[in-house]
Structure 1
Amino acid sequence: MSELEDISHHIHDRLSALQRVLDLSAAELPQNKIKKLGQELFALERLLEEFENCVGRQKEQLKHLKELEELFQKDEKDVHHMKDNIPAHMPRKKGSANGNEPVMTQNDAAGHQLAQPENVKKTSKSYVREMEFITTPEFESIPQYMKGRVSYEQLNAAVQSINTAAAAKYKILHQSLKTLNNHARKLHQRFKDQETKDTKGQYFVVEDDIREFTQTKVDKRFQGILNMLRHCQRLRELRGGGLTRYMLL
């Protein structure tokens, strides 16, 4: 802006000088004055050309600044949208897994208080596989006929319920029988009876586990959710002995 102001002032001074020359030229101008007037006009023409170039540069800069402003406003809008739409369940980064070894997460799920008396030492911390939450792109990839009226939040709430049931189940399995009360011992035996050679090294739950350790209703709607989780490769079914085992992937 300072450059434009300087050129503008300079042009104004030149015009003022020319005006004075013309005011003094009531009589016929001498040859040297005419020459001086021509030089001033030529210089003024160059100044005007420079002024136009400067205005052009300023217009380009203004255009660039407006483009930057638009980009900034778009980024600001995107940030506010992300801030207002943070999903309730954030997917976790997968850890490494070798062969059939499960991806392990610390088991701190709260189930029934089925465990040990206060005077018994706690067992070492155990770990179980947890099903990862469904991402938005995964949810959108599920066919509409399969989704029905189930929302993204409801689907991930079911994931949380299955993880809670698995955590509570394997918390009991990883404890010594001596530390368990009668009800927990019965559950421990039931869990053992449900295992097969195909479930060795794997983590699974059955419908009774979900009923036992969560408030989730295992109904027709929940069966539809399980189909969606199979579609998203979060679990697979293993049937046998009149029982359906949901293997966590």
Structure 2
Amino acid sequence: MEEFKSAINEKILLIENFIALSLRREKVHNVSSKLIKETKELQKLMDQVRKAIKEDINKVDEQHGRLIIRMQRQQGAILEYVLAERRRKFEEAQRREHEVLAAFNASNAPRTAEKKPISALEKGLDNLNLHTNAVTPKLTLSSYKESPLVKQRNINPIPFTFLDFEYRITPEQFEAIPKYMRGRESVDELRNFLDSVIVPCFNKKYQLIHRQRSTVRNRHDLELWKVYNQQSSYVPGRNFITAGDISQQIHKMLDKKQQNRIVMLRHLGILQEQRVVQTVCYIWNADTH
């Protein structure tokens, strides 16, 4: 009998709970609907905030890139102006020297000693003042083509680099590279690969290719000069190097890690890959963005 009463009371309790929940169902439904709606609105606001932050970061990166390019161009313009002034002063000094020599010869004065003549090229190089112990001089490709350096025999080469091949990878750009592509690579390692391998390849090639044929005396340089000029028609109007140029720079074949770094530089738009015949060309593309 007691068990029967207990079962009856348990069922009555269940019925009472069901009735209580039924009476509160509408209120609970309203509260849950409100929470769902607020959650969706909050999610929408968060998406808008993320989008705005991303746009601001991209805008800052773009402005920074434009500023760097503008500074490089201004530096190039200043250097070209300095070179033009040096060239003008050199030509003026050479003209005065010819006038003095002509007057001296006309006077029939006795000569006590003869000095070894200094070539115009040597004077021109001295007046260009490209040697420096503090910072490696920098030129633009256009000013280099017009300078006496392309006529200089490479006995004591003047070290310099091209402004056209300068680029700095920002941490934001590096973080934008997909994680599967970056792996354990750091931004400093990628920068070092660009600065110590890729950029020197471009500098070496375009310092040699624009020199006059008669100034290239070294047999190895001469072979390279011929190869570079033969390949110049591969990508007309663009500056590029090949996979073979990179292998020569590092004195070995490209391994998997170095190939992946090139892939990352392509992803950033610094390099553009193009296959011509059976040659893989890496075009300098950083100046287009």
TM-score, length basis structure 2:
0.44
Q: Tell me which of 234, 237, 245 is aligned to 2:270.
A: 234
- Contact 1:129-1:248 within 8 A present in 2 as well: no
Does the CA-based 8 Å contact 1:165-1:214 persist in structure 2?
A: no
Note the 1:126-141 alignment, pairs <5 A.
127=162, 129-141=164-176
Displacement of 1:193: 1.9
**1:131 and 1:237, CA in 2 relative to 1: closer, same or farther beyond 3 A?**
farther
Contact 2:201 2:246 in 1 (8 A): yes
Q: Could you say if the C-alpha distance between residues 219 and 179 of structure 1 is closer, same or farther in structure 2, counting changes exceeding 3 Å?
A: same
Secondary structure of 1:186's aligned partner = helix
CA shift in 2, pair 1:156/1:135, >3 Å: same
Contact kept in structure 2, 1:106 and 1:126, CA below 8 Å: yes
Counterpart Cα distance in 2 of 1:152 and 1:196: 34
Per the TM alignment, residue 225 of structure 1 is displaced from its structure 2 partner at its CA by 0.7
The residue aligned with 2:249 is: 213
SS in 1 for 2:69: coil
Return the alpha-carbon distance in structure 1 between the equivalents of residues 259 and 215 of structure 2. 35
Once the two structures are aligned, what percentage of the paired residues are identical? 26
Q: CA deviation at 1:222?
A: 1.0
Shift of 1:116: 2.8
The equivalent of 2:205 in structure 1 is 169
Contact 2:271 2:284 in 1 (8 A): yes
Structure 2 counterpart SS, 1:196: coil
Report the Cα offset of residue 196 of structure 1.
2.5
For the Cα contact (< 8 Å) 1:139–1:152, is it kept in 2? yes
TM-score by length of 1: 0.50
State the distance in 1 between where 2:247 and 2:140 align: 19
Calculate the aligned-residue CA RMSD, in Å: 3.3
Residue 174 of structure 2 aligns with an amino acid whose one-letter code is F
Unaligned runs of 5+ in 1: 1-89, 98-103, 109-114
The amino acid that maps onto 2:184 is R
Amino acid at match of 2:69: K
Q: Specify which structure has the bigger relative contact order, considering alpha-carbon pairs within 8 angstroms and separated by 6 or more residues.
A: 1
**Secondary structure of the corresponding residue to residue 129 of structure 1:** helix
Flag the structure with larger Rg. Answer: 1
Change (3 A) 1:236 1:117: closer
Q: Aligned-pair distance for 1:141?
A: 0.6
- Per-residue CA shift, 1:2-40, capped at 9, x if unaligned? xxxxxxxxxxxxxxxxxxxxxxxxxxxxxxxxxxxxxxx
Q: Which residue of 2 aligns with 1:77?
A: none
**What's the secondary structure of 1:239's corresponding residue?**
strand
Deviation at 1:118, TM superposition (A): 3.9
- Structure 1 residue matching 2:257: 3-state secondary structure: helix
Q: How does 1:1-249 map to 2 (within 5 A)?
A: 93-95=68-70, 106=139, 116=153, 118=155, 127=162, 129-160=164-195, 161-180=197-216, 181-196=218-233, 199-214=235-250, 218-249=254-285
Segments of 5+ residues of structure 2 without an aligned counterpart are 1-63, 74-79, 81-137, 142-151
More helix by share: 2
Q: Give the distance between the partners of 1:225 and 1:164, measured in 2 at CA.
A: 16
Separation of aligned partners in 1, 2:277 and 2:171: 36
The CA distance in 2 between the partners of 1:139 and 1:241, in whole Å, is: 32
Shift of 1:246: 0.3
